[in-house]
Amino acid sequence: MENKKTALYSLHKKNGAKFVPFAGYEMPIQYTDGIISEHKFTREKAGIFDVSHMGQLFIKGTNKLEDDLEKIFPTDLKNILINQSKYSFLMNENGGIHDDLIITKLKNGFNIVLNAACKNTDFDLLKELLNNKYEMDLKDNFSLIAIQGPEAVKILEKITNGVSNLKFMSGNNFNYSGDNIYITRSGYTGEDGFEISIKNELAEEFVEKLIKQGGKLIGLGARDTLRLEAGLCLYGHDMDINKSPVEANLKWAISKNRINSGGFIGYEKIKLQIEKGVKKLRVGIQPEGKIIAREKTAIFSEDNKNIGEITSGTFGPSVKAPVAMGYIDNSFAKINTKIFLEVRGKKHPANITNLPFYKKNYVKGVNK
Amino acid sequence: MSEVKFSKQHEWIKLDGDIATIGITQHASEMLGDIVFVELPEKGSSVAKDGVAGVVESTKAASDVYTPVSGEVIENNQSIVDDPAKINSDPENQAWFFKLKIKDKNEIETLMNKEEYHKFAKESSN
């Protein structure tokens, strides 16, 4: 089957993109500048990412839909405001993660941003869980563009006036040359930034304007190093159907009142794990030397017991050192615990560390 | 000093007497992208033709470096260990990987010349 192309494909090509197949799409892994310079440009200025391969699921409905979605997701959807976004999970009964996602409450429904590789199965599963009661649209006719970095707000403000008023993890409708676009202040890089949902026909010209204002297209390669430095999980690697949000060290994303009230899929398992603890836990791992420990690298204790596995690892261009995360036996999960990583047959020392590796005191938006 | 020869694993080799200097090609460095880590064979160790003699890693992946000829490692280039980005900026000169005292000069005969290699690299990247 041929891979799909996003509406920005020719613009990527024009900008010297190197393409890779990703979740059924031809996506730019990098442009002519290369991953490290793209990474740094995002941290210092503003990177533009085509994330149109991700699912933008709109479910139409009001109060009844809120009730039904709360039977699925561990998130307080009733008390969040319209245009507020929440990080959440689609789980199975065992607390295993089908997908991690962002839900935004709208006036007439909910918008859910899904991982590209999961979006079609998520759609089918949600349709079934909602008993086919609601109008659901996986909006293929919309592109999703992220702009991330300290200059993102300044650049985007020039094109869509008013975005600087958005608070982190909230969105709104904006007018763009007579059309409506929806923008949220969010992202996947550890930087301040925005995600813009825009009609396919307008996407290319919109991105060209962002470039003209000082943004630069950034590929999936740098997106991965940026998110890893920011301590953010990549679905299918740092989390999957065999791991729960508690094991993934993401219990902060489960609303407190939902843990008390229950009634969502996986509730019993999650409650048990929160009360009794978990056997394995996702942690940040900092190798002591320069060795890069990649996915599937075995983790050992000082007395040579196999205690876990790396799920993501690379060189962090901003921290200028190797960075990794992985799952480890809970008794070794304490910060500064010394561990060993087996790379090419040799064991290399590393330490459990706090996430994120890279932290910025970015503006969380302003109230006006 | 003889001409530079090239291997199918994208290494270059330059012979000076029975001392060979070996590195990875411009083409290889471009295919790998930004190199962030390198591991070199130890001084004094023996390496065999087409065997693994090092590792280069980009942010995305690790790749083995092979030696196009057999020999004893007499020197390795610490400057690329300290600054792997050199491999991207000057792969066929300053960023050599290691020097070998070669065992068998005939092994070099099987390698490609510059023209042949460029043709090979172009075809293999298509």
Summarised one tens digit per residue, pLDDT across range A96-122 is: 999 999 999 999 999 999 999 999 999
Q: Please tell me which of the candidates B59, B81, B85 has its beta carbon nearest to residue A314.
A: B59
Interchain CB distance below 8 Å, A290 and B61: no
CA dihedral A59, A62, A65, A70 (to 10 degrees): 110
What pLDDT does A368 receive?
40
Q: What is the pLDDT of residues B11-35, one digit of tens each?
A: 999 999 999 999 999 999 999 999 9
Residue of B38, B56, B60 to mutate when probing chain A, most A C-beta within 10 A = B60
Interchain CB distance below 8 Å, B59 and A35: yes
The token pair at A60 is 């139409």
Nearest CA in chain A to B57: A292
Measured distance CA(A152)–CA(A225) in Å, rounded: 19
Q: Please tell me which of the candidates A34, A290, A294 has its beta carbon nearest to residue B34.
A: A34
Whether domain A1-230 has CATH 1.20.200.10: the reply is: no
Pair A75, A88: CB distance under 8 Å: yes
What pLDDT does A359 receive?
85
Looking at residue A335, its amino acid is: I
Distance of CA B8 to the CA centre of its chain: 11
Pair A147, A197: CB distance under 8 Å: no
What pLDDT does A2 receive?
87
Per the document, the length of chain B is: 126
Q: What is the pLDDT of residues B66-77, one digit of tens each?
A: 999 999 999 999
Residue A366 scores a pLDDT above 80? no
Chain A positions in Cβ-Cβ contact with residue B58 (cut-off 8 Å)? 35
Closest to B55 measured CA to CA, from B65, B70, B45: B65
Domain boundaries of chain B, sorted by first residue:
5-124
Half-sphere exposure of A174 (CA within 13 A, CB side): 25
Q: What is the overall mean pLDDT for chain B?
A: 95
ipTM for the whole predicted complex goes beyond 0.95: no
Nearest CA in chain A to B82: A290
Confidence of residue A177 (pLDDT cuts 50, 70, 90): confident
- Residues A128-145 have a mean pLDDT of 97
Interchain CB distance below 8 Å, A292 and B33: no
CA angle A343, A349, A351 (to 5 degrees): 115
Confidence of residue A246 (pLDDT cuts 50, 70, 90): very high
Q: Which residues of B touch A (CB under 8 A)?
A: 33-34, 36-37, 39, 55, 57-62, 81, 85, 88
What pLDDT does B3 receive?
83
Nearest CA in chain B to A344: B55
Pair B60, B91: CB distance under 8 Å: no
Interchain CB distance below 8 Å, B34 and A35: yes
Residue A171 scores a pLDDT above 90? yes
What distances in angstroms separate CA A262 from CA A17, A72, A259, B40, one per listed residue?
47, 10, 5, 56
What pLDDT does B73 receive?
98
Per the document, the length of chain A is: 368
Confidence of residue B95 (pLDDT cuts 50, 70, 90): very high
Write the class of the CATH domain B5-124. Answer: mainly beta
Measured distance CA(A145)–CA(B106) in Å, rounded: 57
Residue B98 scores a pLDDT above 90? yes
According to CATH, where is 2.40.30.110 located in chain A?
A: 279-353
Interchain CB distance below 8 Å, A317 and B58: no
Measured distance CA(A36)–CA(A225) in Å, rounded: 9
Pair A232, A358: CB distance under 8 Å: no
Chain A positions in Cβ-Cβ contact with residue B55 (cut-off 8 Å)? 344
Q: Please tell me which of the candidates B37, B39, B59 has its beta carbon nearest to residue A221.
A: B59
Sign of the Cα torsion A209, A210, A216, A218 reads negative
Q: Please tell me which of the candidates A221, A224, A344 has its beta carbon nearest to residue B55.
A: A344
Q: What is the overall mean pLDDT for chain A?
A: 96
Residue A163 scores a pLDDT above 60? yes
**Exposure b/e, A53-62, CB count within 10 A at least 16 = b:** bbbbbbbebe
Nearest CA of chain B to the CA of A292: how many Å? 8
Measured distance CA(B18)–CA(B16) in Å, rounded: 6
Q: How many CB pairs under 8 A join A and B?
A: 42
Region of A333 on the Ramachandran plot (φ > 0 left; ψ -120 to 50 alpha; else beta):
alpha
Residues 6 or more apart from A305 whose CB is under 8 A from it?
A: none
Whether domain A279-353 has CATH 2.40.160.10: the reply is: no
